[in-house]
């Protein structure tokens, strides 16, 4: 078969296959054109899941009657005129093929009235054939109506989902665009039912909250960052509202909603240790960057872009989010179940022992003592003997448990200005400014060890304890390959291990602190290698480093059931103030929960 020039109609339908996958793509192209035309109001109507009708009306500048035929011609646009313009695109649309492509697979009507003009003009197109413009009536702005979408390409029409599904995608798309353009009002109607109504506003936060849900208002933190030629503004959700999907994550570059792997990775890294695996934080970020440093002409739908320096963008996003999260108290409050005014639970009155009191009644802080969480120094004041900071990378010996009248369930620890209650050798209860703070001792210690390990490894490899006799372990082939890939990482972590047979690894040394915490070398290295095998070949070693440090911290941390001495309890609480992200363990689980005074008042039926 010889080479032939394709007919214009077929060219447009091929282009439509790239640009118009489903009705939501049509809405996207038309709404972006309206925004480029300076619209202050955009109204969208859909019927039959967008198959029967898609209508987009705006109050923008409008199109002159002479330019109406060009608007439907392929690769005709007012947004770029030269290669230089293409290299610094500042508009939403620019390729000039959208209307021509849409017209080739639908029955299209375009009505427009230029601002200040006395009459409107209309032009029609069916299956790519364009009629002559005619005068008509209508308000200033432009109305595009798309009927019988894909009527001449039944195979594509057949692959569309149900009306409800297609409408949901249109709604999601319009909300995504609306977030970035608060100065424009939007409405969406499915048939006669209005499903979205957003008034224009000069408050970007208000628009984002309206879209995400007003119930999230108190859980959204403002991100405001500038550096490296990049300005970032947005809202970052607290870990407590992380969801099962990434549906509430929106990233915009110069007003354009985009998907970018580097930014997504930066987002995950910023929330590492604050949300549990499988959960996705709520984040809406707007990046402003020199258009010359961004290539938006990577994909016909313009949702994928390419940065000239993705590393700088990655660093900026990560820094912006981490700075915001570190500035706020991320300890979640909990609600006690049931109605207010019910009987209080019997906490075992009379079974509490004050440290050093010989089993007598516990003492309480003096009147007026401690409204907020006491400082690191004040916690240590009043102990019977001075204590130096506990090295949390060294073993922590359990407290004695044989004292007379002591119970393993409830054990208070007391200094002069705070009462620390260890419950079931698992949870710690202390007072803070807002109520009662409940701390998971393992989760908190795990976070502390993770942060200390991370700081130590930045200054050099961890100390190695060499074995007199190597520890031999049998592993599978995937773990052997993982050992080769992770070799440099394991050296930094203090492991001395090598392959000595087809399935045999000899462990000649391990990190001293793990050994001091009674962590067995063989099982732990097996776990690390299994993780490495699961990850496969990776370009970046730092995320793997964080994961393995997390494993090390978890293994070495004090456990639920470990009884702690007075000094250890005081040090654990005091160190909480000194570490980053003390509110969550490295896995993302909370280390602390707060029962607020209003919640306690509600449960006890108190009005104040």
Tens of pLDDT, residue by residue over 377-428, are 444 444 444 333 345 445 433 434 444 333 333 334 334 455 888 888 889 9
Q: Which residues pair with 507 in a beta bridge?
A: 471, 497
Please give the pLDDT value at position 384: 42
- At residue 229, what are phi and psi to the nearest 5 degrees? 80, 10
Please give the pLDDT value at position 107: 94
Under 8 Å between Cβ of 507 and 473: yes
E-state strands within 20-119: 41-47, 53-58, 107-113
Residue 536 CB neighbours (<10 A)? 10
Local confidence band at 184 (pLDDT 50, 70, 90 cut-offs): very high
**Which domains does the chain carry?**
8-198 (3.30.565.10), 204-326 (3.30.230.10), 330-338+370-608 (3.30.1370.100)
Local confidence band at 9 (pLDDT 50, 70, 90 cut-offs): low
How far is residue 258 from each of residues 57, 251, 283, measured CA to CA in Å?
Answer: 24, 6, 13
Residue 418 CB neighbours (<10 A)? 22
Range of weakest confidence among 109-113, 225-229, 498-502, 578-582:
578-582
What would you report as the CA-atom Rg of the chain, rounded to the nearest whole angstrom?
A: 32
Under 8 Å between Cβ of 428 and 422: yes
Q: Tokens 């947005």 map to which residue?
A: 234
Q: Is 513 exposed, middle or buried (0-12, 13-18, 19+ CB in 10 A)?
A: buried
Is the pLDDT confidence value at 365 over 60? no
Under 8 Å between Cβ of 311 and 293: no
Mean per-residue pLDDT, 118-123? 95
- For 20, residues 6+ apart whose C-beta sits below 8 A from its C-beta are 26, 29, 101, 102, 105
Nearest to 478 by CA among 547, 528, 543, 546: 528
Average pLDDT of every residue of the chain: 79
Give the N- to C-terminal CA distance of the chain in Å, as an integer: 87
Please give the pLDDT value at position 356: 33
Give the separation between CA 334 and CA 537, rounded to whole angstroms: 42
The angle formed by the CA atoms of residues 26, 20 and 292, to the nearest 5 degrees, is 85
Residue with more model confidence, 110 or 126: 110
pLDDT over 70 for what percent of the chain? 76
Is the pLDDT confidence value at 324 over 60? yes
Local confidence band at 77 (pLDDT 50, 70, 90 cut-offs): low
Please give the pLDDT value at position 379: 43
Local confidence band at 586 (pLDDT 50, 70, 90 cut-offs): confident
Give the separation between CA 480 and CA 383, rounded to whole angstroms: 52
Determine the 3-state secondary structure of 122 from DSSP.
strand
Mean per-residue pLDDT, 442-455? 87
DSSP state of 304: B
DSSP state of 70: H
Under 8 Å between Cβ of 537 and 528: no
Tens of pLDDT, residue by residue over 475-519, are 887 788 888 888 888 888 889 999 888 788 999 999 988 888 888
């Amino acid at each position: 078969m010889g080479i032939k020039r394709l007919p214009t109609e077929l060219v447009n339908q091929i282009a439509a296959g790239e640009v118009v996958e489903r009705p939501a793509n049509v809405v996207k192209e038309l709404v972006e054109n309206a925004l480029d035309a300076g619209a202050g109001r955009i109204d969208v109507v859909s019927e039959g899941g967008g198959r029967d009708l898609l209508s987009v009306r705006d109050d923008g500048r409008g199109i002159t009657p002479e330019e109406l035929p060009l608007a439907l011609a392929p690769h005709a646009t007012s947004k770029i005129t030269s290669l230089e313009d293409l290299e610094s695109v500042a508009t939403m649309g620019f390729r000039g093929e959208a209307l021509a492509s849409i017209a080739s697979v639908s029955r299209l009507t375009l009505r427009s009235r230029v601002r200040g003009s006395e009459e409107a003009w209309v032009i029609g197109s069916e299956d790519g054939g364009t009629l002559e413009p005619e005068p008509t009536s209508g308000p200033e702005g432009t109305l595009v109506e798309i009927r019988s979408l894909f009527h001449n390409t039944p195979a594509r029409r057949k692959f569309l989902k149900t009306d409800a599904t297609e409408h949901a995608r249109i709604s999601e798309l319009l909300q995504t665009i609306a977030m970035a353009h608060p100065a424009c009002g939007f409405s969406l109607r499915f048939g006669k039912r209005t499903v979205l109504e957003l008034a224009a506003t000069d408050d970007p936060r208000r628009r984002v909250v309206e879209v995400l849900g007003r119930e999230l208002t108190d859980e959204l933190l403002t991100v405001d960052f500038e550096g490296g030629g990049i300005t970032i503004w947005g809202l970052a959700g607290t870990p407590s509202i992380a969801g099962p999907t990434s549906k509430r994550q929106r990233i915009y570059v110069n007003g354009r909603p985009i998907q970018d792997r580097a930014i997504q990775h930066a987002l995950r890294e910023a929330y590492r240790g604050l949300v549990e695996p499988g959960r996705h934080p709520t984040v809406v970020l707007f990046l402003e960057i020199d258009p010359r440093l961004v290539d938006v002409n990577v994909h016909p739908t313009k949702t994928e872009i390419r940065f000239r320096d993705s590393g700088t963008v990655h660093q900026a996003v990560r820094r912006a989010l981490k700075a915001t999260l570190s500035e706020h108290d991320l300890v979640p409050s909990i609600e006690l179940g049931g109605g207010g005014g019910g009987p209080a639970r019997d906490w075992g009155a009379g079974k509490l022992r004050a440290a050093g009191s010989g089993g007598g009644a516990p003492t309480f802080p003096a009147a007026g003592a401690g409204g907020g969480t006491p400082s690191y120094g004040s916690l240590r004041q009043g102990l019977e003997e001075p204590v130096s900071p506990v090295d949390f990378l060294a073993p922590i010996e359990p407290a004695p448990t044989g004292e007379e009248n002591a119970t393993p369930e409830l054990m208070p620890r007391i200094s002069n200005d705070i009462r620390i209650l260890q419950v079931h050798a698992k949870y710690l209860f202390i007072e803070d400014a807002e109520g009662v703070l409940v701390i998971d001792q393992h989760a908190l210690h795990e976070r502390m060890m993770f942060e200390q390990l991370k700081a130590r490894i930045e200054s050099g490899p961890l100390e190695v304890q060499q074995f007199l006799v190597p520890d031999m372990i049998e592993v599978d082939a995937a773990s052997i390959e993982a050992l080769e890939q992770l070799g440099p990482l394991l050296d930094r972590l203090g492991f001395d291990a090598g392959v000595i047979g087809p399935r045999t690894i000899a462990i000649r040394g391990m990190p001293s602190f793990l050994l001091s915490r009674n962590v067995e070398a063989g099982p732990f290295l097996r776990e690390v290698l299994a993780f490495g095998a699961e990850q496969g070949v990776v370009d970046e070693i730092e995320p793997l480093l964080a994961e393995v440090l997390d494993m090390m911290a978890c293994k070495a941390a004090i456990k639920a059931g470990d009884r702690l001495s007075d000094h250890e309890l005081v040090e654990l609480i005091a160190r909480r103030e000194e570490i980053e992200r003390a509110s969550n363990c490295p896995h993302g689980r909370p280390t602390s929960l707060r029962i607020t005074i209003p919640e306690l008042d509600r449960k006890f039926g108190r009005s104040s």
